[in-house]
Amino acid sequence: MNGKKLSCVLATVGGFALLASSFVAAADYTHEVKAQKMTFAWKVNGDKLEVKLVAETTGWLAVGFNPTDGMKGANYILGYVKEGKVTLTDDFGDNPVGHKTDEKLGGTEDVTLVGGTEQDGTTTIEFAIPLSSADANDGKIDVNAETVVLLAYGPADRDSFKTKHKFRTGLKVNLSTGASSEAGI
């Protein structure tokens, strides 16, 4: 085989390998729901919930689990990407319209950063949380029951958790089956 044909074969094989690796990355999450310009993807992995949030913003992204009254009672994970660095926080809804970090409320940060990017006006954040942590602020997530999931993102270029959301919605999700519906929140 001459050098030109070998280069073409190697380039083709390399292209297939790159394409296959992108399918593998996309298949890392078992379920996904989209709400306007935001995506919530997840996978139950043993005693952890692995999450990927994607939104058309260069601001912050957030997900909350199982609120009791508005925002109150929910376990929130908020994050943003600034200059290639991901910042995450583990919060608790301490009132119907707000939240504070678990640490300020006497709890612990129980979120593990997996990664994040900000590219072409879209922010992606990936993390894992325990389904049942020792922190009372986190609550327990029953993957076989209906879980209320709150999704939100902040305005572009607002890498601060103190800015109000530009978008928010609530969903009822079965984290085991992937079934979802609007929560009317």
| 134: CATH | 2.60.40.1210
> In this structure, is residue 61 part of a structural domain?
yes
CA pair distance 76, 28, nearest whole angstrom: 22
- Which 3 state secondary structure label does DSSP give 116? strand
pTM: 0.81
Rounded Cα–Cα distance for residues 154 and 173 (Å):
23
Type of residue numbered 140:
K
Give the structural domain span for 151.
29-182
In a domain, 23, yes or no: no
pLDDT score for 165: 74
Q: Is residue 24's pLDDT more than 50?
A: no
1 inside domain: no
Residue 102 lies in a domain: yes
Residues 103 and 90: their CA atoms lie apart, in Å, by 8
What is the pLDDT at residue 160?
Answer: 67
Q: How many domains does the chain have?
A: 1
In a domain, 146, yes or no: yes
> Phi-psi bin for 84: left (phi > 0), alpha (psi -120 to 50), beta?
left
| Mean of per-residue pLDDT scores for the chain | 84
Q: Quickly count: other Cβ atoms within 10 Å of residue 87's Cβ.
A: 16
Is position 141 within any domain? yes
Per-residue pLDDT, 166: 79
Q: Which residues contact 95 (CB under 8 A, 6 or more apart)?
A: 70, 71, 72
pLDDT at 11: 38
pLDDT 10s digits, 85-139: 999 999 999 988 888 888 999 988 999 999 999 999 999 999 999 999 988 888 8
3 within domain boundaries: no
Residue 63 within a domain: yes
